[in-house]
């Protein structure tokens, strides 16, 4: 199957996220060296994992994440679940929920034209009954643009996301 046939087969669902530029396709192993980076951030929330975990969903994120946009491609329940697939322009690409273990762990693989990212969120109950939320991201670039994104990544994003979840759980409102 050619790339064009594949994109037609995909019927436009995520096709723009998967479409690689001519320049990216022209890169050869001798001219391009993929980067991989692993980052971790651990934050703490006062609420129990059972309260935090349901918010780690492309549908529920509309409740607590200002500016969030997503399009559900496939889900039996309409919410996050194993093999749920969705897209988002905020981190352009096709997202697959490859691990779903409430209220302990959820993991996504995000495929874009620039990178393949694995995002693993682990929730652990603290001694006080709250949640230790660990964000682990594994970035692998597919081209020079992906390398540049890896170089620019800051774990502050995960700190801000953790804060936004905590603020929502305390107030019922989005943090702005």
The reported pLDDT for the residue numbered 21 is: 46
Count other C-beta atoms under 10 Å from residue 61's C-beta: 20
Q: What is the full per-residue pLDDT of the chain (176 aa) written as tens digits?
A: 555 554 454 555 444 444 444 455 555 556 899 999 999 999 999 999 999 999 999 999 999 999 999 999 999 999 999 999 999 987 779 999 999 999 999 999 999 999 999 999 999 999 999 999 999 999 999 999 999 999 999 999 999 999 999 999 999 999 98
pLDDT of residue 100: 98
The two three-digit tokens of residue 62, written as one number: 């509309």
**103 cis-preceded (ω within 30 degrees of 0):** yes
Dihedral of alpha carbons 75, 80, 85, 88, sign: positive
Where does the chain show beta strands of DSSP type E?
A: 36-45, 71-74, 85-87, 94-101, 105-111, 115-125, 131-141
DSSP state of 175: -
pTM for the model stands at: 0.81
Residue-level pLDDT at 16: 46
What local confidence, expressed as pLDDT, does residue 150 receive?
93
Nearest to 124 by CA among 45, 39, 55, 41: 45
- Taking CA atoms, 73 is separated from 95, 125, 141, 172, in Å, by 9, 32, 24, 28
Could you state, in order of their start, the residue ranges of all structural domains in the chain? Answer: 3-171
Predicted pLDDT of residue 4: 54
Please count the CA atoms within 13 angstroms of the CA of 52 that sit on its side-chain side. 31
Give the homologous superfamily in CATH for domain 3-171.
START domain (3.30.530.20)
Give the β-pairing of 85-87 and 105-111.
unpaired
Calculate the dihedral angle through the C-alpha atoms of 84, 89, 92, 93, rounding to the nearest 10 degrees. Answer: 30
Q: Minimal CA–CA distance to 164: which of 149, 148, 175?
A: 175
Phi then psi for residue 169, to 5 deg, are -65, -30
How does pLDDT run across 39-81, given as a tens digit for each residue? 999 999 999 999 999 999 999 999 999 999 999 999 999 999 9
């Amino acid at each position: 199957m050619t790339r064009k046939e594949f994109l037609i087969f995909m019927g436009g669902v995520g096709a723009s996220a998967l479409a690689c530029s001519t320049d990216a396709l022209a890169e050869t192993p001798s001219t391009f060296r993929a980067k991989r980076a692993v980052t971790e951030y651990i934050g703490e929330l006062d609420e129990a994992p059972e309260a935090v975990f349901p918010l780690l969903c492309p549908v529920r994120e509309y409740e607590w994440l200002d500016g969030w946009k997503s399009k559900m491609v496939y889900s039996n329940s309409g919410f996050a679940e194993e093999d749920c697939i969705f897209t988002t322009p905020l981190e352009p690409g096709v997202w697959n929920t490859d691990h779903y273990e409430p209220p302990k762990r959820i993991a996504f693989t995000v495929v874009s034209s620039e990178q393949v990212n694995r995002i693993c969120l682990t929730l652990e109950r603290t001694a006080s009954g709250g949640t230790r939320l660990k964000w682990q991201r594994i970035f692998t670039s597919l081209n020079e643009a992906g390398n540049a994104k890896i170089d620019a990544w800051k774990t502050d994003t995960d700190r801000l996301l953790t804060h936004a979840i905590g603020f929502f759980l305390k107030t019922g409102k989005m943090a702005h």
